[in-house]
Amino acid sequence: MNILKSMRAMSVMAAVCLALLGCEKKDEAGAAGGGEGHVAEGGGTVGNGAHREESDFDGPFTVETSVRDDGTLIARVRAGNGFHINEQFPWALNINEGAPVAGGSSFNKDQAASFGEYEVIFEVGDGSSAQGAVEGMLRMSVCNDDACLTPRETVSWNLTN
């Protein structure tokens, strides 16, 4: 019974998101995936997000964080099968105050290294000489043909030299 109530509430919230945020329906999107986004440690190649390759997961999105050899912090969001990046949403990556790299800084979607239909990549600061944890909050949105999700995801990096 609680599951039905939760599903109804999510449907209502998705409809409100569509109405307020202007999520666009995409003709090429497939069936919506289930599951929730998550923060995963890892890396990957950095692309421009414009070319669509089949996602290797069925959830709406993944968020991956990594640190390049030069100390640049990377936050990468990929849309899952049937989802796309909501380019109309005011994306933001906010680094917590006191972080050893870019503490208190905020980056919007125009400052992203790559902002495409299926992938967004933020590159932050130079952590090559810093140590410790860097945490932040990513405000983002992905959509399918039926709804837009607007989660806030905690992101973190562990710097060791």
Q: What is the pLDDT of residues 63-120, one digit of tens each?
A: 999 999 888 999 999 999 999 999 999 999 999 999 999 999 999 999 999 999 999 9
Residue 138 pLDDT exceeds 80: yes
Residue 146, judged by CB atoms within 10 A of its CB (0-12, 13-18, 19+), counts as middle
Task: Give the integer Cα–Cα distance in Å for 90 and 96.
Answer: 19
Query: At residue 18, does pLDDT exceed 80?
Result: no
pLDDT at 45 over 50: no
Q: State if pTM tops 0.75.
A: no
Query: What pLDDT sits at residue 30?
Result: 29
Burial group, residue 98, by CB count within 10 angstroms (0-12, 13-18, 19+): exposed
